[in-house]
Amino acid sequence: MARSAWLWRPAEVRIMRPDDANVAGNVHGGTILKMIEEAGAIISTRHCNSQNGERCVAALARVERTDFLSPMCIGEVAHVSAEITYTSKHSVEVQVNVMSENILTGTKKLTNKATLWYVPLSLKNVDKVLEVPPVVYSRQEQEEEGRKRYEAQKLERMETKWRNGDIVQPVPNPEPNTVSYSQSSLIHLVGPSDCTLHGFVHGGVTMKLMDEVAGIVAARHCKTNIVTASVDAINFHDKIRKGYVITISGRMTFTSNKSMEIEVLVDADPVVDNSQKRYRAASAFFTYVSLSQEGKSLPVPQLVPETEDEKKRFEEGKGRYLQMKAKRQGQAEPQP
C-alpha cells in the first residue's frame, strides 16, 4: 500500500557544546551536516522498510546545495526535522530543516535547509539496490516537480564523477595566496564507530571530515576566523567500507571579495584488499567567509592561480559564483 506524501519525522533536539564549535564559538558546518544526514537516514530507512519484503538500509547518494543561513553558537539548541518529498523507483528525496533556539530568550531562527537523496541497500547484499515503496502525492504537480529534480541531480552526479578524476599533489615551498600554499589533506582509518551496522561509512561522517579539511584550507589562506557559508552539491560516488583508509584533500579554487570556494575530494584505499584499487568516493565544493572577532565579514586575500589547471578551475569557480549570485538577486527581486 502506498504511503501519503509528505512523510514527516519529528525534530531531533540537541544542545550545542564546546566540542561542536570552533574557537570563536560558532558551530562547525560539519557538525550540522552530520545532524542533517542522520535525520535523513532515519526517515528514508524507515520508509523503505514500511512494506513487507527484503529489509534494507538507506545510504546517502547526494546532498544538494546547502546554504548556512545563520550561524549557530555554543549553548543554542538545534532542532532538526525531516520529510520525504519525492520517491523514484530506487531513490528517496528528503528535505531537512535545521532551526536554532536560544533557550534563554526563546528566539528561534532557520539556520539550514537541505535536500538529500538516498538509495535503499539490501541488508543481505549491500551492493544490491532495492525498490522504494511509492508515496501518494496530494497534488500531481508535486510528483512532476520531484521527477524534474530527480532527473537533474542524476545527470549532474554522472558528470561530476568523471570530472573529478585528478588528485591534489603537494608542492614544496609554495608562495602565500597560491593554491599550493593552503591546500590540505587528512588521512583517516575508517573504524567501527564511523560505520553503519553493515560496515560502510555514514554519509554524515564523511561530510564532517570534508568540512574540517575545507575549513583548514580557508583558515590557512586568510588566517582569520572562518565559517561555512554554503556547500554545493556533495556527490557520493561509491561506498566506503570499514577498514579502508580515506584521504580527504582540499584546495582553493576561487575567491571573490568576501568568499572562498574550496574543492574537496575523498579517495578511498582498500589497503587490505588487493583486488580493488584506490577510488574516488565523494566530491564537493564548499564556500567559506572570513569573519572578524566581532563576527563581521572581512575581505578575502585574492587567490593567485599559477598553473593552467588552476586558472581553469578559477574560471569555473567564478562561473559558479556569478550564477549563484544572479540566482540570489533574482529571488530577492519583488515579484510583479
7: confidence class by pLDDT, cuts 50, 70, 90: low
> Average per-residue pLDDT in the chain?
89
pLDDT above 70 (res 14): yes
**261: Cβ contacts below 8 Å, ≥ 6 apart:** 252, 253, 254, 255, 285, 286, 287, 317, 320, 321
Residue pLDDT, tens place only, 62-72: 999 898 998 89
Which residue is catalytic, options 20, 26, 194, 211?
A: 211
pLDDT above 80 (res 166): no
Per-residue pLDDT, 333: 59
CB atoms inside a 10 Å sphere around CB 285: 21
Which residue is catalytic, options 22, 67, 177, 269?
A: 22
**111: Cβ contacts below 8 Å, ≥ 6 apart:** 32, 68, 69, 70, 71, 72, 78, 98, 99, 100
Residue with cell 599533489: 169
Residue with cell 521527477: 147
Q: How far apart are CA 43 and CA 276, in angstroms?
A: 33
276: confidence class by pLDDT, cuts 50, 70, 90: confident
257 is catalytic: no
Residue pLDDT, tens place only, 94-103: 999 999 999 9
Residue pLDDT, tens place only, 241-270: 999 999 999 999 999 999 999 999 999 999
pLDDT above 90 as % of the chain: 71
Q: What is the pTM of this model?
A: 0.87
238 is catalytic: no
Instruction: Name which of 290, 316, 299, 293 is nearest 228 in CA terms.
Output: 290
Find residue 235's DSSP bridge partners: 62, 283
